[in-house]
Structure 1
Amino acid sequence: MSTSPISPRPLQKGQQTRAAILDAALGMASHMGLEGLSIGALAEVTGMSKSGVFAHFGSREELQISVIREYHARFEEEVFFPAIREERGLPRLSALFENWVRRVSVELDSGCIYISGAVEFDDRPGPVRDALASMVRAWHAALERAIRQAIEANQLRPDTDPLQMLFEIHGLILALHHDARFLRNPGTLDRARRGFARVVADYQTAASTSPSSASLPQE
């Protein structure tokens, strides 16, 4: 007996409304920062009442945390999940970095919540800072895991310090965001890619293949 495929269950009206509010909140936070979020401003943007927005989140703090989680979920979809389909080791690490660069390139007119949030909450303890730091640490853990896998595959030297290499890679992204978004310097994407190739070459074993243009695609 044949059966028809089960279609995904549509979101309930309340879930649809919450998703729409979150989408608007994410857009606001990308341009104005997490501190720019307020129940009142979001109600105005979405055409809802303040009480209607409040009912979905309960507080401004919970709204900010929900936005951080939504941003992280989208970051994973665009950066992490496509990369883990690549072979373990340098191919996967290169894909993680390249996807990250591409993500930054489309955020230049808005902003990266990981970076702007770190500036806003670096010295402000509390649940929002904890949520943001947790998401950033999860991403760093994925990069560190890819580095360790490259060491295990003998593509990087056995004495490679994964945390040092991670630090250098993250520094390239911060420099890219600063020079491209704040200074509007041309050629920053290529500079970041060349920097990554240089970092990898510094840690590579003689037996492994040098990063090719295929692993660091041009725009």
Structure 2
Amino acid sequence: MGGARLDGRVERGNQTRQLVLGRAVHVASTEGLEGLSLGRLATELKLSKSGVFALFGSKEELQLATVRAAVTVFVEHVLTPTRAAPPGLGRVWRMCESWLSYSQRRVFSGGCFFYATIAEFDSREGKVHDALASTQTGWVTFVEETVEEARVRGELAADTDVSQLAFELIAFMELANAESVLHSNNPGYTKAARAILGRLHAAATDPSTLPAIPGRK
């Protein structure tokens, strides 16, 4: 009986934690990680403040848990769809499509969670900075590995500078996100897709395997 009560408390605690983090990732994407507070989240979600404090203990731990929660969402909406495509140029394009869709659909209220929070912490030191830096490094590595797969398979020119191409693809995607969030519009996503496809067409050994570049005859 004691074990059952303990299990029940643990389960309720896990549910509350997920509820808090579900709200936290959206707040942080619009107001930054510094906009988070345990008291605020408890009030907004009509939860016990003492219970929320017991789950996280400090603002820094809340921020770190929020970053981890955002990574889980990002994996679901960008990495998982990318991995579902066969390796090669098609997977590279799927990756870019998935990222642009993730931003445009506002999976996070403020657009890309990581674009917003990295800008907030890029010149700071500490655990939150390190966690965000690690996620950024992981994303860049994923993009480079995805591009490298296409190069090794002969679908990109053998002399393709993988690091440079990955950098450009990420830059196109992030600029679309920034422009859309700032101006509350969507044309940047079309521009980014056109720029990405143009860059991939130029590097592809067989451009016909890619979608046509919008607006180009």
TM-score normalised per structure 1: 0.87
Question: In structure 2, what is the equivalent of residue 40 of structure 1?
Answer: 39
Matched to 1:22, the amino acid is L
Match of 1:62 in 2: 61
Rounded to whole Å, the distance in 2 between the matches of 1:186 and 1:65 is 31
Over the matched positions of the two proteins, sequence identity in percent amounts to 33
Give distance in 2, aligned partners of 1:57 and 1:185.
Answer: 36
Quote the residue 1:203 is aligned against: 203
Deviation readout 1:22-50 (Å, 9 max, x if unpaired)? 11212221221111001121121122233
Cα distance in 2 for residues equivalent to 1:62 and 1:186: 35
Q: Is the 8 A contact 1:29 1:37 kept in 2?
A: yes
Q: Counterpart amino acid of 2:203?
A: Y
TM-score for the superposition, normalised by structure 2 = 0.87
Structure 2 Cα separation of the partners of residues 37 and 121 of structure 1: 14
Q: 5+ unaligned residues in a row in structure 1: which ranges?
A: 1-8
Q: Note the 1:156-195 alignment, pairs <5 A.
A: 156-184=156-184, 186-195=186-195
Distance 1:132 1:208 in 2: 35
Q: Residues 208 and 185 of structure 1: is their aligned pair in 2 closer, same or farther, counting only changes over 3 Å?
A: closer
Q: What is the deviation of 1:92? A: 0.7
- How many residues align? The count is 206
Structure 1 counterpart of 2:135: 135
Within 5 A, what are the aligned runs for 1:118-157? 118-157=118-157
2:3 aligns with: none
Which stretch has the larger CA shift, 176-185 or 72-81? 176-185
2:33 is the counterpart of 1:49:
no
2:92–2:146 CA contact under 8 A, matched in 1: yes
Tell me how far 1:195 sits from its aligned partner.
0.6
Q: Which amino acid aligns with 2:159?
A: D
Partners of 1:186 and 1:25 in 2: how far apart? 25
In structure 1, C-alpha distance between the alignment counterparts of 2:48 and 2:14, rounded to whole Å: 17
Letter in 2 for 1:191: K
1:51 shift after superposition: 2.1
Find the counterpart in structure 1 of residue 75 from structure 2: 76
With 52-61 and 40-49 compared, the bigger mean Cα shift is at 40-49
Q: Equivalents in 2 of 1:208, 1:48: separation in Å?
A: 55
Residue 208 of structure 1: how far off its partner (Å): 5.4
The alpha-carbon deviation at position 167 of structure 1 amounts to 0.7
Secondary structure at 1:201 match in 2: helix
Question: Is the Cα contact below 8 Å between 2:30 and 2:116 reproduced in 1?
Answer: no
Q: Paired residue for 2:11?
A: 12
Please say if residues 109 and 181 of structure 1, whose CA atoms lie closer than 8 Å, have aligned partners that are also in contact. Answer: no
RMSD: 2.2
Q: What letter matches 2:166 in structure 1?
A: L
Unaligned runs of 5+ in 2: 1-6
Shift of 1:185: 5.0
